[in-house]
Chain A
Amino acid sequence: MSAVNLVTVIGVVALFTSVLAWPHVSAGRIEGVRFYLSLMLTSIGAAYAAGGSGMLTVLGGLAATVVGGALLCGSRRDSRAAQEAALKFLAYGGFSAGVSALGAALVYREVSPHGALVWGELSRAVTQNEVSVLGGIGVALVFAGLVSFLAAVPFHMWAPDVLEGAPTPAAMFVSAATKVAAVGALWRLVDSVVKPWNPHAFTLPLDVLVASTVIVGNLVAVRQVLVKRMVAYATIAQGGYLLAAIAHGGESVVFFAMVSDVVVTLGVFGGVGLYELRESRHDELELADLDGAGLRQPVVAVALAVLLLSMAGIPPSGGALARLLVFLSVVESGRNALLVLLALGSVAGAYVYLRLLVRMYFHSGRPPGAPITSGALIWWLRGGVVLCAVATVAAGVWPRGLLWLGSGR
């Protein structure tokens, strides 16, 4: 999982988002200039955070991500929800980045006689020297800040509000980019500081975080009525699997799980955006708006169904294999209790995605509201969703490419 790969992922996500955002821009739902400028800022920040060579680079990247992400969320001026989302992301993200910065300062106090805050030197410093309590607290603080960008329960509070309120393309990018950034940074932190220093210190807290994230995310998602909020909780739950991969899996497992998750997130948000533009009667897409959607736009609906099933872990899809790899890593490190909790959580998750699919296919459809936008641009969204579905099936059928990319060779 080299830095180049992570930055490439961010770049592809940014490109994809900018294409899928265009129909929203042309429909007047978001302000184009503001959106694209802040998209650039956010992606640069996320790229630094994901692939940064040391703690300070990561912190700088995170700060840029927070500012840019807040601007992205606020790129729809006529919506109070979007403004609120922007403010929330700024506040929560800023606080988390600040906590990380505090932690980094403590770590710096610890390692300054031996070198800088670069991953390699940190790794050497913690293996060769005794780490004091303050240094340990510092690592824990950096860790907590990063985990809250992954929206792991109990640091998940920002995600549902921000992803629900933000305009859909912004939610798509913020969700995907913060995930890549957090996974990249967390992997470096765990791989080069935590594991060489004390491999067992973080196992139990990490397991608790993973289990609570998967279970709470899925259980709360079951109760949601707004589609975007439900998807937000579902992505929180998926973050739990990523965290489990970071805690117990190898490099290629983390990369595979992250990429397949990002692909699915992009596709699902793309699909939500499509239905918002085509069929919504209100500003917010409700679950009931999807009634019969599966029979109205069959191809897109099948693609969306494939993406949702991938999230539920049904093969052949990247999500299914990612779940398999994560479970395998957990079994290999002998954490059976965690395995049981993950299994329970994923059954609850299956019910979440099933609820959406039941709405789309088994409920009789009502005539859709007047489409907000029509014509050629809607095909961009359709193509994007289908592309994501094809990509996730491809990852499920031929996973070796992604695994090879992730193995860092």
Chain B
Amino acid sequence: MTLNVLFLLPALAAVGILLLPRRVARPLAVLTALTELTLALNLWRGFDATPRLVRAKWIPELGIAFALRVDGLNLLPLALTTFLFLISVLHCFVRAPARPPQYLACLLLLESALVGAFLAQDLVLFCLCSEFATIPAGTLIGLWGGRGGRTAAVRFVLFHCAGSVLLLVAVLMSAVMAGAPSLTFDLIALSERLDRQSVGDASWVFLAYALAFGIRIAMAPFHSWLADAHAESAPGVSIALLGVLHLAAYGFLRIPVALFPATARDLSPVLGSVAMASVMYAALLIMAERDLKRLVAFSSVASAGTIALGVLSGTATGMQGACVLIVGHGLAGCGLLLVAGSLRRRRRRVELDGLAASMPRAAAVVVICAMSLIGLPGLVGFVGELMVLVGTYGSPSVTLGVPTQKLATFVVALAGMLGVGAILLVILTLGRTDPPIPVGSTSKSVATAAVFALMAFLLFPPVDDFDGGLLMRPLSPYLEQNQPFSALMPALAVSATVAMVVLAIAWTIALGRCWSRSDTGPVDAPRRGEGLLLVPVLALLVFFGVYPKPLLDVVEPAMDAYATELKAAFSEPPLERRGP
């Protein structure tokens, strides 16, 4: 019952807001968002390891059911989403949008879709809910966004449609793979069935999942929609969009890894490397960016990479870390976006330059949130990042196909040459900050490619009698010599550490602009309640950083069970290489 209400209440309230008189809209929306948060917190308070389940027939001919479930995996993102939506709805009182009833109705429809997807136990329901979320979100970006909102909305919807179609295809293929006796889309039944019978090569299905969620989580090659969506939309909408990202991260944690643990094991070095590349790329973007909203978007890209790495580590600690990171990213991102909203109103620009001089308190909030994002001890981000790193280091080592030694040597030599150039280019690029070089310019792209090459030079795994990249050489005694390419996972752990450091440096450089430049523009007086919304966000950021036990209590039992299952798959001998 609670779960049904949690799912359907915002949608019904949205219809109510459209039908009822205009002045009821805001109170009704606040009431709905508050009820949602209360229900979610109530679930959290009464949480024990046994999941709560709602199940009804929907299309029994095809094994599609209306099934909702709350357990340790989805409780945290669910509670976080309801919290973020409450903040987003309350932000209406700080700055009223045009046509408030329609705005609030879209917001609540989005909340309903996201909550439904978080709760969905049936994969088809998950697909449908997450696909529907695109429409209210796109409308919010386009109709209530800035000048570029229209383009941003179209880009957002197209990227998400592509992701949804891929997700649908992957879900259908995995259900058909599980096959007999009749189709089912129930997550648990499906993973049990896939576990019992040896399915053939599932790597294509897994890659489809990874790509679908990679697009929606804004991993590096597909991140362009996120920056636009954040930069062009109103603060309340940007905060709601964080929920869309968290849904994708949760989906990646929940679905493909549970269904195909063996394939996850096979592919995790490759996907992990992509995730790390994404983090490094995001760090570069952060370094060069001055617009606070885009900074949040790029740090979301970085967080997405870290979360994916935690999931791919296949360890309980890493996955718990991923869950905690979702919370940390949500809170810190929400804080930064609130500040960005008030910057835009009070200074008419969202750049960080000279912020400390003109708005010292806002600068302080920005610094605190950014510090959480880069994992300063005492803030919630630290807990998450540390756990992801520990988990990644603890991951059982993995094997991958064997490329020839010549190829590896060639790649490393090339990477070395490029790396030297990279150092020079990065120094030059960073040194020339006035006038700043726009993101996406050729020199920056070259610099990015060069940094990847440098990473390869430092971190290339040992192959045959080649000793590996510079940073890898000390590790080589610890690596199993009989499995030539198995070093990638430790390499990944090392590169994750490097990426965290680079990210921290990047944020420091970005934040340095707060002090390094003067700000002469006028600053409006703050509105009542503007700072008030930040209070719960910052309080939670610090509270969970100092005392993460409530978070861990929820994720621990679920993740332990999950990870035991995965560890069984991870420690199995790798599947035989399939024939041609």
Interface pick from B129-137, B311-319, B511-519, B524-532: B129-137
- Contact at B128–A312, with CB atoms within 8 Å? no
- Contact at A343–B165, with CB atoms within 8 Å? yes
Does A85 interact with chain B (Cβ within 8 Å)? no
Given A309-B135, A315-B131, A350-B157, A400 and B59 touching (CB < 8 A)? yes
- Contact at B139–A315, with CB atoms within 8 Å? no
Interface pick from B89-97, B169-177, B421-429: B169-177
Which residues between 282 and 333 of chain A lie within 8 Å of chain B, taking CB atoms? 309, 312-316, 320, 323-325, 327-328, 331-332
Contact partner, B154, options A320, A324, A354, A399, Cβ 8 Å: A354
- Contact at B162–A361, with CB atoms within 8 Å? no
Does B150 interact with chain A (Cβ within 8 Å)? yes
Given A252-B61, A403-B61, A327 and B169 touching (CB < 8 A)? yes
- Contact at B61–A331, with CB atoms within 8 Å? no
Which residues between 139 and 169 of chain B lie within 8 Å of chain A, taking CB atoms? 139, 142-143, 149-150, 153-154, 157-158, 161-162, 165-166, 168-169
Contact partner, A332, options B61, B124, B127, B176, Cβ 8 Å: B176
Contact partner, B128, options A320, A343, A350, Cβ 8 Å: A320
- Contact at A324–B168, with CB atoms within 8 Å? yes
Closest residue of chain A to B174 (Cβ to Cβ) is A331
Does A202 interact with chain B (Cβ within 8 Å)? no
Q: Flag B254-276 by CB within 8 Å of A: 1 or 0 each.
A: 00000000000000000000000
- Contact at A328–B62, with CB atoms within 8 Å? yes
Contact partner, B132, options A315, A340, A362, A403, Cβ 8 Å: A315
Given A354-B157, A362-B142, A343 and B166 touching (CB < 8 A)? yes
Does A387 interact with chain B (Cβ within 8 Å)? no
Closest residue of chain B to A407 (Cβ to Cβ) is B61
- Contact at B59–A399, with CB atoms within 8 Å? yes
Q: How far is the CA of A324 from the CA of B125 in the complex (A)?
A: 12
Given A252-B61, A362-B150, A314 and B165 touching (CB < 8 A)? no
- Contact at B173–A314, with CB atoms within 8 Å? no
Given the complex, which residues of A lie within 8 Å of B142, measured CB to CB?
358, 361-362
- Contact at B161–A347, with CB atoms within 8 Å? yes
- Contact at A343–B132, with CB atoms within 8 Å? no
Does A351 interact with chain B (Cβ within 8 Å)? yes
The count of residues in chain A whose C-beta lies closer than 8 Å to any C-beta of chain B is 31
- Contact at A343–B169, with CB atoms within 8 Å? yes
Q: How far is the CB of A230 from chain B (nearest CB, A)?
A: 16
Given the complex, which residues of A lie within 8 Å of B169, measured CB to CB?
327, 331, 339-340, 343
Given the complex, which residues of B lie within 8 Å of A347, measured CB to CB?
158, 161-162, 165
- Contact at B153–A320, with CB atoms within 8 Å? no
Q: How far is the CA of A316 from the CA of B131 in the complex (A)?
A: 9
- Contact at B158–A315, with CB atoms within 8 Å? no
Closest residue of chain B to A404 (Cβ to Cβ) is B61
Given the complex, which residues of B lie within 8 Å of A313, measured CB to CB?
165
- Contact at B172–A327, with CB atoms within 8 Å? yes
Given A309-B135, A324-B168, A331 and B124 touching (CB < 8 A)? no
- Contact at A358–B150, with CB atoms within 8 Å? yes
Closest residue of chain A to B153 (Cβ to Cβ) is A362
Given the complex, which residues of A lie within 8 Å of B166, measured CB to CB?
343
Does A346 interact with chain B (Cβ within 8 Å)? yes
> Which residues on A are within 8 Å of B, measured CB to CB?
252, 309, 312-316, 320, 323-325, 327-328, 331-332, 336, 339-340, 343, 346-347, 350-351, 354, 358, 361-363, 399-400, 403
- The 7 sampled A-B contact pairs (Cβ below 8 Å) are A252-B61, A313-B165, A327-B169, A336-B173, A358-B153, A361-B139, A361-B143
> Which residues on B are within 8 Å of A, measured CB to CB?
59, 61-62, 124, 127-129, 131-132, 134-135, 139, 142-143, 149-150, 153-154, 157-158, 161-162, 165-166, 168-169, 172-173, 175-176, 183
Besides A309-B135, A336-B173, A358-B153, 12 other CB < 8 A contacts?
A312-B161, A324-B124, A324-B127, A324-B172, A327-B169, A327-B172, A332-B176, A339-B169, A350-B158, A354-B154, A354-B157, A361-B139
